[in-house]
Chain A
């Protein structure tokens, strides 16, 4: 399988790194308009660097592209790749507007290519385990769920994240992971209410999602947290509680003797290592779906629904009102 990566920022590096070690996959090129990023990544992963999408597509002839572009470019490049008859693996969100998501999905259908969206949380083993327990009824009736995802502001490294028109902000870019996970585990949402504060260096939101099955989910998301990137999930149901917390699952801590400029005596680095990263598991699953012509765990429609909820959450933050979804949620009515 010939695979190419578009965009050599943080996510592009992750995708290329995973393809480079994936059996049966040939990484045929990486491109970035900032050519030096493509060169560095190509050197690291043993592939060719390109400075333009067109050149890479025509010269490297991939069967699959991974799109790791700023979010506002997702729709355009999904559609362009579809027209070239190339399968598309795109980072989330599928686009910034539900109508664009529909257009992207239709373009892929029209040109008979598969479309996969990187809602990678579904491939994190701690989250997959929760999903399985909910499906098996171990938690009984799910009542109250907390999902948290906080870290530094990505805009510090990549300017476009600061522009809500390009990234959608913390809700559409970061919290959409947990929104997707909530929809995946709990089904059809009923309403959403959001409180949010944005400033130059920070974007913080608290979202409450209600579901038709009665469950309530509170999501916390923050760009601009000064600590480690952290996630946690708690599902409480009539049958019990399951918790996952990235801070409590570090299976190794490396302490190095060091005297830094602030006089700290040592550096302490906790880690949670695994054979394959969740990104590898996700991309391998997508490649498998192409090979076997099977349906992925996360469908384009799932991605569109997550986007609809994320945008409704933004709307609630702006209006101060609860946004209700119709019973036809995710099909046609709520755009």
Chain B
């Protein structure tokens, strides 16, 4: 029999947990044996659809013979949960942002290394087919050398704990810098961000406690530069939740990526607005598949803790720039 990875899921605070669970259900090499979330009622439906046992306390889940955990807690708990899971000998896939400070993320990485477990950061955007194709074109030199990248990861205001700074650690600038920042890092594997300039404000939703507006510029050590719009600027009437776009300007051409353009347009009276329904490949399915495959084959995970650190530190530097009103060195 083929090796099967037993997975425990810790916290469904981040909605991605539901789609990761779906994705895992489609992978023969994976089985979810335990699910932990403080409020059982929120995950009752998910429990019904799996064979997994429920654990009110994640410590009890970590005591079982699971091989790996997927952590989708509030951002503030990522570090503690990752460290405890690693010390219990479990591989970890942690939702982004990996942590809320550089020392915290460095500790997560080193504890996992010492425990001999793998740490993966959940950056599903690397599995968007248009992004994969764009990277392939860049690596083949189809547009020459990269000059600049402009990305957007705009969204709707997520509400809940995302707008509670004591749980999220920040608003739109933190939430939505990291995905596209990771893509930029991935497109420039030999370069590091050296300078960051950012703007953050609260404009679209006066009632919330965190910023909903973010614009962040980066400079890389090889001279490439970029900008990302991270704002929760999509109104309720918008036909979809948001976007992931990337414009790559090279010395011999340009690439425009609109990852969610593979959609049908729906106009349903009951919905009250036009809607985009995406029909492209599921990035969440491919992400968990990448995690499980690496564990089955005992290969390095495709997106590791250092990748998580490299993009999160840019967002954190962004907050410093917001305070000073000038670019800051990383």
A residues near B (Cβ < 8 Å) are 141-144, 146, 150, 191, 193, 195, 197, 199, 202, 204, 206, 208, 210, 214-216, 218, 220, 222, 225-227, 236-241, 320-322, 324
Instruction: Assess the A195–B199 pair: CB atoms within 8 A.
Output: no
- Write out, one digit per residue, whether chain B residues 203-243 have a CB within 8 A of any chain A CB (1) or not (0): 11110000011010101000101110101011101100000
Chain A neighbourhood of B251, CB < 8 A: 199, 202
Instruction: Assess the A143–B203 pair: CB atoms within 8 A.
Output: yes
**Bound complex: CA A142 to CA B213 (Å):** 11
Q: Which of A141, A206, A216, A226 contacts B199 (CB 8 A)?
A: A216
Q: Which of B152, B235, B249, B325 contacts A241 (CB 8 A)?
A: B235
Q: Which of B152, B205, B327 contacts A321 (CB 8 A)?
A: B327
Closest residue to B201 on the A side, CB-wise?
A214
Interface residues of B in 13-63 (CB under 8 A from A): none
Interface residues of B in 229-263 (CB under 8 A from A): 229, 231, 233-235, 237-238, 247, 249, 251-254
B76 at the interface (CB under 8 A from A): no
Instruction: Assess the B204–A222 pair: CB atoms within 8 A.
Output: no
Instruction: Assess the B235–A239 pair: CB atoms within 8 A.
Output: yes
**Whole-angstrom distance between the Cβ of A189 and the nearest chain B Cβ:** 13
Question: Do A320 and B199 form a contact, CB below 8 Å, given A143-B233, A239-B235?
Answer: no
Question: Do A218 and B234 form a contact, CB below 8 Å, given A144-B215, A195-B148, A226-B253?
Answer: no
Chain B neighbourhood of A324, CB < 8 A: 325
**Whole-angstrom distance between the Cβ of A265 and the nearest chain B Cβ:** 23
Closest residue to A190 on the B side, CB-wise?
B325
Instruction: Assess the B213–A216 pair: CB atoms within 8 A.
Output: yes
**Bound complex: CA A195 to CA B215 (Å):** 13
B64 at the interface (CB under 8 A from A): no
**Bound complex: CA A222 to CA B149 (Å):** 12
Instruction: Assess the B197–A218 pair: CB atoms within 8 A.
Output: no
**Whole-angstrom distance between the Cβ of B128 and the nearest chain A Cβ:** 20
Q: Which of A204, A216, A225, A239 contacts B215 (CB 8 A)?
A: A216
**Whole-angstrom distance between the Cβ of A175 and the nearest chain B Cβ:** 14
Instruction: Assess the A238–B253 pair: CB atoms within 8 A.
Output: no
B326 at the interface (CB under 8 A from A): yes
Instruction: Assess the A236–B231 pair: CB atoms within 8 A.
Output: yes
Chain A neighbourhood of B148, CB < 8 A: 195, 197, 204, 206
Instruction: Assess the B197–A193 pair: CB atoms within 8 A.
Output: yes
Instruction: Assess the B147–A202 pair: CB atoms within 8 A.
Output: yes
**Bound complex: CA A222 to CA B248 (Å):** 12
Closest residue to B231 on the A side, CB-wise?
A144
A-B CB contact pairs (8 Å), 19 listed = A143-B213, A144-B203, A144-B229, A146-B229, A150-B254, A191-B325, A193-B217, A195-B148, A204-B148, A208-B197, A215-B203, A216-B215, A218-B227, A225-B249, A237-B203, A238-B204, A239-B235, A241-B235, A322-B326
**Bound complex: CA A150 to CA B147 (Å):** 15
B310 at the interface (CB under 8 A from A): no
**Whole-angstrom distance between the Cβ of A212 and the nearest chain B Cβ:** 12
Question: Do A208 and B199 form a contact, CB below 8 Å, given A195-B225, A197-B223, A216-B215?
Answer: yes
B6 at the interface (CB under 8 A from A): no
**Bound complex: CA A310 to CA B237 (Å):** 35
Instruction: Assess the A143–B254 pair: CB atoms within 8 A.
Output: no
Instruction: Assess the B225–A141 pair: CB atoms within 8 A.
Output: no
**Bound complex: CA A220 to CA B213 (Å):** 19
Number of A-B contacts (CB under 8 A): 103
**Whole-angstrom distance between the Cβ of A292 and the nearest chain B Cβ:** 40
Interface residues on B, range: 35 or more
Chain B neighbourhood of A191, CB < 8 A: 325
Instruction: Assess the A208–B227 pair: CB atoms within 8 A.
Output: yes
Query: Closest 5 CB pairs between A and B?
Result: A143-B203, A236-B233, A195-B225, A240-B235, A144-B231
**Bound complex: CA A218 to CA B237 (Å):** 23
Chain B neighbourhood of A214, CB < 8 A: 201, 203, 213
Most buried by A among B147, B201, B203, B234: B203
Chain A neighbourhood of B199, CB < 8 A: 208, 210, 216
Chain A neighbourhood of B276, CB < 8 A: none
Chain B neighbourhood of A206, CB < 8 A: 148, 150, 217, 225-227
**Whole-angstrom distance between the Cβ of B224 and the nearest chain A Cβ:** 8
Chain B neighbourhood of A195, CB < 8 A: 148, 217, 219, 225-227
**Bound complex: CA A202 to CA B249 (Å):** 10
Interface residues of B in 120-153 (CB under 8 A from A): 147-148, 150, 152
Closest residue to A195 on the B side, CB-wise?
B225
Chain B neighbourhood of A241, CB < 8 A: 233-235, 238
Chain A neighbourhood of B233, CB < 8 A: 143-144, 236, 241
**Bound complex: CA A202 to CA B148 (Å):** 12
B195 at the interface (CB under 8 A from A): yes
Closest residue to B253 on the A side, CB-wise?
A226
Question: Do A218 and B215 form a contact, CB below 8 Å, given A225-B254, A236-B231?
Answer: yes
Chain B neighbourhood of A236, CB < 8 A: 154, 204, 231, 233-235
Chain B neighbourhood of A144, CB < 8 A: 154, 203, 213, 215, 229, 231, 233
**Bound complex: CA A321 to CA B195 (Å):** 11
**Whole-angstrom distance between the Cβ of B54 and the nearest chain A Cβ:** 41
Chain A neighbourhood of B197, CB < 8 A: 193, 208, 322
Chain B neighbourhood of A225, CB < 8 A: 249, 254
Question: Do A204 and B229 form a contact, CB below 8 Å, given A193-B217, A237-B204?
Answer: no
**Bound complex: CA A269 to CA B225 (Å):** 33
Closest residue to A247 on the B side, CB-wise?
B256
Chain A neighbourhood of B326, CB < 8 A: 321-322
**Bound complex: CA A143 to CA B231 (Å):** 9
Q: Which of A193, A197, A208, A220 contacts B247 (CB 8 A)?
A: A220
Instruction: Assess the B325–A208 pair: CB atoms within 8 A.
Output: no
Closest residue to B205 on the A side, CB-wise?
A238
**Bound complex: CA A333 to CA B235 (Å):** 39
